[in-house]
Structure 1
Amino acid sequence: MLQSVIDYYLNLPEALHLVKIPELSSNDGSTYRMQSDYGSGTFQTIRFEDDMLLILIGDYTPKKTFEKVCEISEEYIEIDQFETDSSSFKIGKRKINQVERGIYCYINTQKTTYTYCEGGKPVRFTKIIMTKKYFDTFFHVHFGEGYEKSKTITDYLMKNPYLPELNFVFQQITGCQAVGKTLHLYLESKVIELLTLIVTGMEKEKRHIPVKLDYRDIRSLKKTVTMMKNNLAAYPTGEELAKVAGMSPARYLLAFRKHYGTTPYECLKEMRLNQALLLLKNSDYGIATIAEKVGYHNSGHFARLFKNAYGLGPREYRKIHGIK
């Protein structure tokens, strides 16, 4: 059944076998728990007065793999942070895509979307749902009436899912303990901060780089990113990455900057810091161990990089999340 995006997501908890927790719910937002027969965990919806913005925070583990079918008539934009990779989706008759950890952007094309969550595996995400009116109002301020709409933003985020500053804003949204109007003011300020960071990043990407890329080049570049992501503790040289991409080292560096707007080293650093952020929040590993796992043998050097990226050190980050 076709419906608005706000209506769809507000009715979603029932479809996921979630039960509202009255003492943690109000007109501003609701918290649900998954029925024990179907799994465990919670799901939170935070609704804003004008019904143009909705924030969802999910942290649950279904007992069995399930499919969720979504058909929404309204145009909207969704920007998510996934902390797990146990979900997959497909749009219309396209192939199934695995959801990876990091930032993901989706524009509703009014096609049927199928989402799958794997049984027995945790699902953790934060979703920012914006109606087209909310999104357009913000970007018209920066780009005017002639901006290239949402596709440019989607392309940017899909190429840069590990940006530390964006992932950190999502962590601030998830960790917010405010209530009532203070909660709404804080969360909307974070949404605006997120969109502003995207605008800033896109502006930096506009620099002209004298190299042309075709789809085979882009596919080869993605292979090198996958190689780095699969072994964050490794130290691949520029020559090794260029060999994987089938390019000369000089062309590889130009091609990488052209497509991703950054260098391979910076991309690797972003992936490492993003993974460190999740490990600090979701594991009991010591900071030195986490530093090793993401490729830094010197925990002091790791702490300095972390602070430069997020504005606070690893210990401070754990402290604000109540983790010792």
Structure 2
Amino acid sequence: MQQEQSFTIESEYKPYLEMLGFSVDHHFPTKPGALFSLDPSVGEGTVWVYAKTGHFFIQAMDFYFYEEVPFEYPQFDFISFGYYESSLYADKHAVFYSPYLLGYRSRTQVFKCLIPKREAVRNICIVLAPAYYEHYLSKTYPDEYNELLTALEQQHGLLHLPELVLLLKQIMNFTGNSAAAKIYYESKVAEMLALIVNHSHNQKTQKCLLSEQDRNGISAVLTCLDSHYGDFSISIEQLAKLACMSPTKLKYTFKNAYNCTISEYICRKRIQEAKHALEHSQINIGEIAKKLGYKKTRSFSDYFRTHTGLLPSEYRKLAQGKISTYSGR
């Protein structure tokens, strides 16, 4: 199929990365895909791309330029989901501040952005081709195809889906190669699809079950939790007042809306933030514990091990070791 043949690293990434000063790093180790390293005269960093020809890309970017760089890109037809740890500047209109999860449906016009000097571009994304979401899915899931395609196309813009953030980070940290890598990446794309479809279903259920007033109340609670996940003093009564609900109604409504309790949501948020700090910084574990509201580092370490199976120090060593393998640094 011609459409599949054109959706390759050579056609969709290589020419445009070379325009920015990237070139293929032939010294990249056994990890599948292609690693592009930035010319040290213009900046530092890498772009890693894995492709199942005609079906999907997985890309991981981590670089910055010494000077401001304008960039134009004639978009191909795709649907992508990515976790961005750097600000996104697009068409002088959309500016999202990191970190964030973004669903994106390409448009026919040229994508334009201005990359500020010495500002990191850091993300991990799954990019789906039409051959995947129009042909492969329709053949593989003929009875469910309309539901699958609708879910993919509707999840456009900023998303709140912590499970998908975790999935993308798992992909970035994976170090397997050969057949194991191909199986792993394909399984993660399928898992992402399942998460998106389930998320879309939950959104429809929430809209059907909740009044606009209740949706606004839950949204206010969510904003509060995302900003104060390290504050152990916040009570269910305070959150209920914020939502204009009784504590009992808030618990019930929140569980229906997000398929977890408020305590479980806070737990996920703390673990997510702890993992991010351990993966991408050398901040003292005691400081991380303090940020998350723990007075004793040991209490935080026990909590972290209960939910991940590893002590924070063990997780940091493992995660940062794997990240260095992925980035080529």
TM-score normalised according to structure 1 size: 0.76
Tell me the secondary structure at the aligned position of residue 321 of structure 1: helix
- State whether residues 220 and 246 of structure 1, in contact with CA within 8 Å, keep that contact through their aligned partners in structure 2: yes
How many Å separate the matches in 2 of 1:304 and 1:194? 30
The verdict on how the C-alpha distance between 1:262 and 1:97 changes in structure 2, with shifts beyond 3 A counting, is: farther
Aligned partner of 2:90 in structure 1 is 89
Within a 5 Å distance, the mapping from 1:162-241 to structure 2 comes to 162-163=162-163, 166-199=164-197, 211-214=209-212, 221-235=218-232, 236-241=234-239
The structure in which a higher percent of residues are helix is 2
Query: Pick from 76, 80, 103: which aligns with 2:82?
Result: 80
Which sections of structure 1, spanning at least 5 residues, go unmatched? Answer: none
CA apart distance, 1:79: 1.6
Q: Give percent identity, aligned residues only.
A: 21
Deviation sequence 1:147-202 (CA, Å, 0-9, x none): 15244675499442333xx3333223212333444433332233333334445555
Query: Pick from 69, 73, 83: which aligns with 2:72?
Result: 69
Aligned partner of 1:47 in structure 2 is 51
Aligned partner of 1:144 in structure 2 is 144
| Two-structure CA RMSD over aligned residues (Å) | 3.8
Deviates more, 1:112-121 or 1:152-161: 152-161
Code of the aligned partner of 1:77:
I
How many Å separate the matches in 2 of 1:154 and 1:299? 42
Code of the aligned partner of 1:129:
V
Matched, 1:13 2:11: no
Deviation sequence 1:276-297 (CA, Å, 0-9, x none): 1111111123434323222344
CA apart distance, 1:112: 4.2
Aligned partner of 1:278 in structure 2 is 276
Aligned partner of 2:161 in structure 1 is 161
Code of the aligned partner of 2:45:
G
CA apart distance, 1:80: 1.2
CA apart distance, 1:60: 1.1
The verdict on how the C-alpha distance between 1:96 and 1:199 changes in structure 2, with shifts beyond 3 A counting, is: closer
Aligned partner of 2:315 in structure 1 is 317
How many Å separate the matches in 2 of 1:157 and 1:313? 35
How many Å separate the matches in 1 of 2:69 and 2:216? 31
Aligned partner of 2:325 in structure 1 is none
The verdict on how the C-alpha distance between 1:51 and 1:208 changes in structure 2, with shifts beyond 3 A counting, is: closer
Deviation sequence 1:125-158 (CA, Å, 0-9, x none): 1111111332353585396233152446754994
Code of the aligned partner of 2:80:
E
Code of the aligned partner of 1:271:
K
Query: Pick from 101, 124, 132: which aligns with 2:122?
Result: 124
CA apart distance, 1:54: 1.2
CA apart distance, 1:102: 4.1
Code of the aligned partner of 1:31:
L
Tell me the secondary structure at the aligned position of residue 146 of structure 1: helix
How many Å separate the matches in 1 of 2:224 and 2:116? 25
CA apart distance, 1:32: 1.9
The verdict on how the C-alpha distance between 1:58 and 1:185 changes in structure 2, with shifts beyond 3 A counting, is: same
CA apart distance, 1:122: 2.2
Deviation sequence 1:22-56 (CA, Å, 0-9, x none): 222899522122223432111112222x3312111
The verdict on how the C-alpha distance between 1:231 and 1:184 changes in structure 2, with shifts beyond 3 A counting, is: same
How many Å separate the matches in 2 of 1:292 and 1:52? 44
- State whether residues 152 and 197 of structure 2, in contact with CA within 8 Å, keep that contact through their aligned partners in structure 1: no
- State whether residues 206 and 257 of structure 2, in contact with CA within 8 Å, keep that contact through their aligned partners in structure 1: no
Which sections of structure 2, spanning at least 5 residues, go unmatched? Answer: 1-5, 322-329
- State whether residues 106 and 154 of structure 1, in contact with CA within 8 Å, keep that contact through their aligned partners in structure 2: no
